[in-house]
Amino acid sequence: MLARLEVQTRNRTEMVDITAGVQSQVAKSGVQSGLVLVWVPHTTAGLTVNENADPSVRRDLLAALDRLVPREGDYRHPEGNSDGHIKSTLCGRDVTLIVEDGALVLGTWQGVFLCEFDGPRRRSVLVRVLEG
């Protein structure tokens, strides 16, 4: 089963917690044991698993990426979002998670995040739950 989560971002860069949406798709699938593949089909967005207990971690991650890849630079891409493409590549566009007893297997503080690098936009996140 392929599901689509729609996420409206509000800022140029942000990390949106999508853990509950992914877990909802796992529950709907009925799969008790397997994997869930999460994919974002955008070239200026990414996915990551990281701490979701302290929101300052998200701020720190975005600030570090901004230091590594500033918005303005010696970029050739004419759309003005080259930094978003580079950050997306660094972050990655997919995560694979274990499903056990019908739930995502995450560490105590972990969550799944859509990383927006060229917003605000409406983003799609594709979710496929695999039994196994």
What amino acid occupies position 10? R
Check pLDDT > 90 for residue 1.
Answer: no
Burial class (CB in 10 A: 0-12, 13-18, 19+), 36: buried
pLDDT tens figures, 40-96 = 999 999 999 999 999 999 999 999 999 999 999 899 998 999 999 999 999 999 999
The CATH fold of domain 2-131 = Jelly Rolls (2.60.120)
C-alpha–C-alpha distance, residues 83 and 64, integer Å: 13
